[in-house]
Amino acid sequence: MASEKKIALVTGANRGIGLETARQLGHKHVTVIVAARTLKSAEETATKLKAEGIDVFPLKLDVTNAHDREAAAKTVGDKFGKLDILINNAGVGAQDGTLVNKTIHTTEEELQKVFGTNLFSVVAVTRAFLPLLKKSEAGRIVNLSSILGSLGLHANPNSPIASVKTFAYDASKAALNAFTIHLAAELKDTKIKVNSAHPGWVKTDMGGDQAPMELPEGAKTSVDLALLGPEGPNGRFIHLGQELPW
């Protein structure tokens, strides 16, 4: 059944930045579909957010699973009839969790796993939900990237990320940024906007306790891009309102 209220889907919404993004959108009166790899995790997240007065719907969606993607798109279509916001938040970091430069020694297994989640699954999820986004009056797609995907900054020896060369992760986010640029160009004659978000270095399981940013600030970029007005940016790489170099 179609709804006048904005409908947002957040992948990987059961923890970290995804959960906080869902929370902030919910408090802005958006109906939030919280997607997680298991229905149990999605339902537990929904229960938590409902206790805060948020209109929320749990959804099983392992982004790497083709059957899950197809079933999830059908469920959302049957229940809501459209999708206004897709936040491709689910992602994985370096396989060993370190920031050691091991470019030439990066295993094929790590490349396949990281690209499989951070790029291939994002493309596939977006493809599955694009027909519903096209039914929105102002569709928004937000791809969770990272400043570590900036080729310009990596190539500058004086940049703040110059010493952080985690090849599989960095390359997957650079490729994700390319997807943002290409999809935004393909959809330029529609009402859909596509942007990459750098949340910042945030205290999460991936970011670690030493990260300087707390979750509420880390989710802010995604939320702002999800709720962009018609004059907002399209096909850009954004952090807290500022454009980053590709």
Choosing from 6, 60, 169, 220, which is the catalytic residue? 169
Beta-carbon contacts of residue 100 (< 8 Å; ≥ 6 apart): 166
Distance in angstroms (rounded) separating the CA atoms of residues 99 and 85: 32
Three-class SS state of 203: coil
Short-list 224, 240, 216, CA closest to 19? 216
- 191 as an active site residue: the answer is no
Cα→Cα distances 50→31, 175, 204, 213, Å:
11, 36, 23, 26
Instruction: Please work out, in degrees rounded to the nearest 5, the angle formed at the alpha carbon of residue 153 by the alpha carbons of 147 and 155.
Output: 135
What is the spatial distance between Cα 246 and Cα 244, in angstroms, rounded to a whole number? 6
The yes-or-no answer on residue 60 being catalytic is no
Buried b (16+ CB within 10 A) or exposed e, 164-184: bebbbbbbbbbbbbebbbebb
**Two tokens at 206?**
């991936």
Please give the DSSP secondary-structure letter assigned to residue 194: E
The size of the chain, in residues, is: 246
- From 6, 173, 203, 220, active-site residue: 173
Active site positions, annotated: 169, 173
